[in-house]
Amino acid sequence: MAKIVTTRRIAQNAFEMVFHAPSIAQTAQAGQFVEILYGRDYAPLLRRPFSIYRVDRLQETFSILFLARGSFTSGLSEKRKGSLVSIIGPLGRPFYWDASQPRQHILIAGGIGAPPLYFLAQTLHNERAYREVGEIIVLNGARTRSLLVGLIEFSRLEVHLYALTDDGTHGEKGLVTDRLRTLLEQPSQLPRSLYACGPTPMLKAVAAIAYEFNVPCQVSVETSMPCGIGFCNGCVVAQSTAQGTHYVRACWDGPVFDANTLVW
């Protein structure tokens, strides 16, 4: 049971909720998620997954970012400071990277896919105190300005930040995949790695570009995860292996996958 420390509206119907949860704050890794159930009766009946957004290990807090657009998220947004919420986590396989050499880390976020990538950018930023990390490039895109989240937080880190909107209401007008292609067409003295989270069509496009340029790419898939611990099989995704196509559980075997292994 985690206590809500604060809730703040950061966009039109987007909220950041901070919880005091020492065990999660101390062990969470970028790309992992939590399962939340805030009610005490059948409504809501099932838990919902939320990517971990920001972590403060000293204060023993972590936060999630969500859009209040359904009965579950709207109800969650109405919970007050000091309320107790049932949380399971951290869950899932996180992002990983080769720390043996500096790299050009390119993070591609689409809309509400920004939270796990901010956590990753923060982690890479903090690692600079101990080793040479290389470059951190963030492509943060959304349909319109009101859906573009995490810009202030990203800008406080030592990253090259590109903001893009489909309608041009903020930053560059266009898609993150257009900017990604432009970046990859430019030579780099550092080996590159891609990390992406967002809508499935965006992830599919990023995976295709990564394959075209022969750049390793990890994607965090967005799918329903009723249990979060690999029991219900409600979150399966298709994965390709040498033996053929089979299904894996996004909550247990992911949510972070090598993009080349998924069947799009």
Average pLDDT over residues 233-256: 90
> Domain boundary at 30, 57, 91, which?
91
- Asked if 10 and 87 sit in the same domain, the reply is yes
Average pLDDT over residues 23-37: 96
- Asked if 139 and 177 sit in the same domain, the reply is yes
Average pLDDT over residues 65-82: 90
- Asked if 133 and 180 sit in the same domain, the reply is yes
Residue 43 pLDDT grade (very low, low, confident, very high; cuts 50, 70, 90): low
Rounded to 5 degrees, φ, ψ at 25 are -60, -35
- Asked if 146 and 117 sit in the same domain, the reply is yes
- Asked if 86 and 182 sit in the same domain, the reply is no
pLDDT, one tens digit per residue, over 208-228 is: 999 999 999 999 998 888 888
What is the pLDDT at residue 36?
A: 94
Average pLDDT over residues 36-65: 89
- Asked if 85 and 107 sit in the same domain, the reply is no
- Asked if 117 and 35 sit in the same domain, the reply is no
- Asked if 120 and 177 sit in the same domain, the reply is yes
In a domain, 253, yes or no: no
Q: Give 40-76 as a DSSP string.
A: SSSSS-S-EEEEEEEEETTTTEEEEEEE--SHHHHHH
Please list, in sequence order, all residues whose beta carbon lies within 8 angstroms of the beta carbon of residue 13, skipping any fewer than 6 positions away.
Answer: 67, 68, 69
- Asked if 111 and 206 sit in the same domain, the reply is yes
Whole-model pTM?
A: 0.93
In a domain, 245, yes or no: no
- Asked if 166 and 144 sit in the same domain, the reply is yes
Domain of 162, CATH number, reads 3.40.50.80
- Asked if 138 and 82 sit in the same domain, the reply is no
Domain that holds residue 131: 103-222
Domain of 27, CATH number, reads 2.40.30.10
In a domain, 261, yes or no: no
Domain count, the chain: 2
In a domain, 96, yes or no: no
